[in-house]
Structure 1
């Protein structure tokens, strides 16, 4: 739970209540955001979101929403141009914008929302949907310290938040933690296939691979030890793990080089999309 719950906003507008937006909303309510201060705007809300708003007393698509302390943009990036005129009318002089729109820079938002002032650009990842996300965030020069703490309280309700010294680092964050869950899922696929090739029945290999990666991830989450130390703790000299690591850590074509190449490719693509 965020330590700065005293900075939670009294009024908030969520624009876009899909999977990520809906997960963020649930996290906000859990840390103390008052549902009566929340407005959700979504042209096609799911039945689940409609029911959730009704049960919690959250305003869903009111005809004349008022400006709020915080406006969170969680729509698809390609919808920004169409939605911008209406959104611009929801911005008061002190409204903080928090955007999780991939590829849309703070400059993009300022140009499309001329009434905007304070803007936080954030890049969460998929595990935020279960409260275990990793988010990188950057601010423009209009964001006050109080507003940054407000953004931190909201974003950290779904996992950890790392504040970046410059928006220029967002593309690297996207390549590492934004896309990173897919790398881990693919690792499970590859590990299961390797187990099958070693003679295990496919279903058994898949179950073992999945449990191995999720268990290792939970151990990493609960331990204060560095990953290198945890690796060393399960590696007996001359044993089976050491034999496998000799392959994975082999230069110049081991896992380290492959991951560096993968993250670099994702970062280049993020830069292209942002451009």
Structure 2
């Protein structure tokens, strides 16, 4: 990996400060895609509760956050947002100009991160979502003042192991949280409703949920591979006087479109509120 040359000779070593589900998902993606060897990943956490998942992957673990930075030059901070300032204060003394630090903590701005770290530290933010657990996530990233194109390229190349990864302006991070982070729950709610409609009409529950999951998966793949606007695919399914137009009419009467837009807006506004706090 050419971009990794900036981190010095030898194999790429990646650290995780915080060992929760998202950190595990990212590490698992790196390992499965062959981006980083498990033995070259180091994770830290206060207790063994989450570290056992990293150990099962074959990674190294420790209770010392400083040890992670002393072992790795690329480090992901995957702590709770309210914990992150204290963690950064703890490790600041061992941060060097060679480190690339990546925050996964929602709502903590790049300017705040840079204020808490030594001057000229290369900092980036990423916003992943839960499907990273199955390497089908949506991830956006933004770079700080001292992170250049080589750091962004390295991070994007790595995170593509977890799904789709795009660089965006930092202002889009909270929107991504409302759209894709919270959107997982919105899609699951719609999935439940679709299955319950079939159950109401007499289909067994397990069968209905399996068919819905496959329908969502297939539709998503068509939208990705054909690069069509959703309206075009909807039109392809909708024949005059057929079943789909009757169903769409019912959805419009129920206000699905407006309710969905309002849900993304509400989740985004809440993300922005939390960022300010």
TM-score, normalised by the number of residues in structure 2: 0.85
Shift of 1:132: 0.7
1:95 aligns with 2:91: no
Shift of 1:201: 4.4
Of 83, 101, 114, the residue aligned with 2:87 is 83
State how far apart, in whole Å, the 1-side matches of 2:52 and 2:98 are: 33
Runs (4+) of structure 1 exceeding 6 A deviation are none
The answer for the alignment partner of 1:168 in structure 2 is 171
Q: Which moved more, 1:167-176 or 1:204-213?
A: 204-213
Of 23, 26, 41, the residue aligned with 1:24 is 26
**C-alpha contact (below 8 Å) 1:50/1:60 kept by paired residues:** yes
The answer for the alignment partner of 2:17 in structure 1 is 15
The answer for the alignment partner of 2:2 in structure 1 is 6
For residues 19-60 of structure 1, give each alpha carbon's deviation from its aligned partner in whole angstroms, at most 9, with x where no partner exists: 21112112223233244543221222343322323xxxx432
Q: Which moved more, 1:201-210 or 1:18-27?
A: 201-210
**CA pair 203-52 structure 1, distance change in 2 beyond 3 A:** closer
Shift of 1:108: 2.4
Question: Which protein is richer in helix relative to its size?
Answer: 2
**C-alpha contact (below 8 Å) 1:95/1:116 kept by paired residues:** no
**CA pair 187-90 structure 1, distance change in 2 beyond 3 A:** farther
Shift of 1:244: 0.9
**CA pair 32-211 structure 1, distance change in 2 beyond 3 A:** closer
The answer for the alignment partner of 2:274 in structure 1 is 273
State how far apart, in whole Å, the 1-side matches of 2:204 and 2:13 are: 54
Matches within 5 A, 1:179-194: 179-194=182-197
**CA pair 86-147 structure 1, distance change in 2 beyond 3 A:** same
Of 51, 54, 57, the residue aligned with 1:49 is 54
The answer for the alignment partner of 1:157 in structure 2 is 161
Contiguous gaps of at least 5 residues in structure 1? none
3-state DSSP of counterpart to 1:77: coil
For residues 71-100 of structure 1, give each alpha carbon's deviation from its aligned partner in whole angstroms, at most 9, with x where no partner exists: 111122232133223322341113111111
The answer for the alignment partner of 1:109 in structure 2 is 113
Q: Number of residues paired by the alignment?
A: 264
**CA pair 67-112 structure 1, distance change in 2 beyond 3 A:** farther
For residues 110-138 of structure 1, give each alpha carbon's deviation from its aligned partner in whole angstroms, at most 9, with x where no partner exists: 23334662211111111111111111111
Q: Which moved more, 1:182-191 or 1:113-122?
A: 113-122
Shift of 1:272: 0.7
State how far apart, in whole Å, the 1-side matches of 2:34 and 2:52 are: 24
Shift of 1:203: 4.4
1:240 aligns with 2:243: yes
For residues 5-29 of structure 1, give each alpha carbon's deviation from its aligned partner in whole angstroms, at most 9, with x where no partner exists: 3224533221122221112112223
1:215 aligns with 2:218: yes
